[in-house]
């Protein structure tokens, strides 16, 4: 069965949205937004459109003179992104209010107000579209609406995720790959140390911290683990000392030392990354484990910014793309079994490393075992794949 039919079926089935929940969220968001508006206008001493980066920039950096060396965007406007504002937070009480306003407004306009309008009249459910041919790495994308970016990180946003629910009597099952991209880095690079970290079943970020900071795993602090985690992510994306220093708010030198330490701990990873770039130069493309190609026309560019971008793509695409290939294999296999064994439960959503099923309770045990098995064994690697799962009466709870 080709993937496109699996996706078509998932789109057709859709997912239920509890509109009463959303109404309540809407009311409370609106109230908070209005009072934040008032506070912001008072602090600014004038009314303006807080949603306009241009007007906000003028207020913060000219009227209130909060310029932190006034960073600017392409078009020479003041940069008012969250990242910049965070750094100014201590300087004036308006900053926190603006950040909070922005967050709540985002939830309201992008989700709470938009989603109910996309509930299908006939089915009473939300039906996304999955695209197979948009993302250059081979990932799926989802639009109209995008159900791959439903909030989960903040408390307020999580309320929205709770509004995604199964039919009366059914339950959600969520199954997701644990650290699939880092596992792929371990496999593809063949780095003995990283492979051993996964084979021993240790917490990978703690294991990385232990190596780069030179302490026993048991002596790894939260801060060390958090930095190691950032470094691990950075590695997958084709790290630079600048990028890492920005994210950790540390100096360039310190970031460089950290990266050097990383590559000393995982020398195979460094070798693999260099090899990926060399391959891209030779062939003009890189491939995933399953042979999907990403062409990199800029890999020989004389412009180092453009070339650097292509080099990071050469590192990242085989990793992200292989992860995408793997979950697609699992989806096709799982879908085949759902059909063949006449399940009444349905696979309804895919979010890159996660599959969500709407399950009739009698089938839960069997389906959970089957789905986790198919995901875990979709491909044979030199390190184990791990799949976590959960169930619940809404999407958040299933996590």
Partner DNA sequence: AACCTCACG
Partner DNA sequence: ACGTACGTGAGGTTC
Per CB under 7 A, contacts with DNA among 308-347 are 308-309, 312-313, 316-317, 320
- Bridge partners (DSSP) listed for residue 131: 141
What is the number of other CB atoms lying within 10 angstroms of the CB of residue 11? 14
**Omega of the bond leading into 302 within 30 degrees of 0 (cis):** no
Contact pick of 155, 218, 305, 342 for DNA (by CB under 7 A): 305
* 280's tokens: 């891209």
Contact pick of 159, 191, 197, 353 for DNA (by CB under 7 A): 353
Q: Among candidates 242, 214, 201, which has minimal Cα distance to 385?
A: 201
Look up tokens 């950790």; give the residue: 248
Closest separation in Å from C-beta 352 to DNA: 4
Residues counted in the chain: 399
Contact pick of 45, 90, 222, 304 for DNA (by CB under 7 A): 304
Contact pick of 24, 64, 99, 250 for DNA (by CB under 7 A): 99
Closest separation in Å from C-beta 339 to DNA: 26
Closest separation in Å from C-beta 364 to DNA: 23
Contact pick of 121, 153, 222, 380 for DNA (by CB under 7 A): 153
**Options 8-16, 148-156, 206-214, 277-285: segment touching DNA (CB under 7 A):** 148-156
**Options 25-33, 71-79, 204-212, 341-349: segment touching DNA (CB under 7 A):** 71-79
Q: Site for DNA (CB under 7 A): how many residues?
A: 74
Closest separation in Å from C-beta 117 to DNA: 8
Residue 80 as a binder of DNA (CB under 7 A): the answer is: yes
What is the rounded CA–CA span in Å between residue 154 and residue 309? Answer: 31
Using CB under 7 A as the binding rule, the residues of this chain from 223 to 262 that contact DNA are: 230-231, 233-235, 237-240, 242-244, 246-247
H-only helix segments in the chain: 3-13, 19-44, 53-58, 82-88, 93-106, 155-162, 180-189, 192-199, 204-213, 222-237, 241-248, 252-265, 267-283, 304-340, 364-376
| Residue whose CB is less far from DNA, 147 or 171 | 147
Spatial CB neighbours of 287, under 8 Å, sequence gap ≥ 6? 293, 294, 318
């Amino acid at each position: 069965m080709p993937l496109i039919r699996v996706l078509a079926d998932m789109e057709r089935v859709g997912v239920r949205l509890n509109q009463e929940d959303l109404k309540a969220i809407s009311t409370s968001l609106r109230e908070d937004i209005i009072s934040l508006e008032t506070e912001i206008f008072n602090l600014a001493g004038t009314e303006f459109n807080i949603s306009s980066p241009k007007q906000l920039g003028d207020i913060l950096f000219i009227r209130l003179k909060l310029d932190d060396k006034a960073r600017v965007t392409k078009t020479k406007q003041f940069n008012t992104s969250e990242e910049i504002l965070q750094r100014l937070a201590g300087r004036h009480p308006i900053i926190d209010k603006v950040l909070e306003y922005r967050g709540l407004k985002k939830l309201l306009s992008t989700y709470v107000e938009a989603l109910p309008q996309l509930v299908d009249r006939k089915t009473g459910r939300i039906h996304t579209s999955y695209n197979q041919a948009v993302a250059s790495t081979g990932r799926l994308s989802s639009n109209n609406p995008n159900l791959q970016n439903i909030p989960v990180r903040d408390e307020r946003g999580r309320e929205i995720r709770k509004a995604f629910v199964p039919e009366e009597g059914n339950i959600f099952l969520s199954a997701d790959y644990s650290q699939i991209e880092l596992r792929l880095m371990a496999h593809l690079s063949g780095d003995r140390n990283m492979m051993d970290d996964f084979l021993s079943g240790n917490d990978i970020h703690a294991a990385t911290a232990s190596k780069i900071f030179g302490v026993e795993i048991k002596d790894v602090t939260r801060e060390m683990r958090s930095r190691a985690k950032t470094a691990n992510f950075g590695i997958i994306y084709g790290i630079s000392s600048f990028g890492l220093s920005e994210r950790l708010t540390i100096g360039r030198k310190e970031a460089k030392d950290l990266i050097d330490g990383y590559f000393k701990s995982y020398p195979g990873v460094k070798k693999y990354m260099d090899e990926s770039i060399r391959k891209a130069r030779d062939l003009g493309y890189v491939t995933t484990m399953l042979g999907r190609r990403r062409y990199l026309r800029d890999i020989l560019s004389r412009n180092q910014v453009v070339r650097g971008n292509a080099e990071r793509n050469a590192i990242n695409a085989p990793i992200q793309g292989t992860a995408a290939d793997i979950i697609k294999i699992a989806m096709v296999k799982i879908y085949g079994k759902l059909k063949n064994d006449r399940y009444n439960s349905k696979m309804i959503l895919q979010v890159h490393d996660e599959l969500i099923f709407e399950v009739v309770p009698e089938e839960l045990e069997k389906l959970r075992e089957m789905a986790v098995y198919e995901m875990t064994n979709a491909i044979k690697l030199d390190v184990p794949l791990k799949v976590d799962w959960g169930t619940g009466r809404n999407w958040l709870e299933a996590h």
